[in-house]
Amino acid sequence: METHDLWHLLVLGSTLMGAAGLAILLLSSLVFEEPPPGLRQARPLVAGLIALAALLLAVEWLGVH
């Protein structure tokens, strides 16, 4: 496997995990009346990981290809 293929796997994995984190943040208010304490504490971390995934996707889209 080449380095470029590993890059694509990293971008795909981070984008999928970022989308999952975004779905959890947005849908948790529909499932729970109040967000669980762990989710409330982890919200800034999840938001940062979503931003990192979006940044990697933008770098891939605009810079690499």
Task: For the chain, give percent helix, strand, coil, nearest 5.
Answer: 90, 0, 10
pLDDT value at position 13? Answer: 92
pLDDT value at position 15? Answer: 92
pLDDT value at position 19? Answer: 93
pLDDT tens digits for 2-41? 888 898 898 899 999 999 999 988 898 888 888 888 888 9
What is the Cα gyration radius of the chain? 15
Instruction: Indicate the burial class of 24 (C-beta count within 10 angstroms; 0-12, 13-18, 19 or more).
Output: middle
Chain CA centroid to CA 63, Å: 19
Domains identified in the chain, total number:
1
Question: Domain range holding 49?
Answer: 3-64
**43 membership: H or E segment, kind and range:** helix 37-59
pLDDT value at position 1? Answer: 79
pLDDT tens digits for 34-63? 888 888 899 999 999 999 999 988 888 888
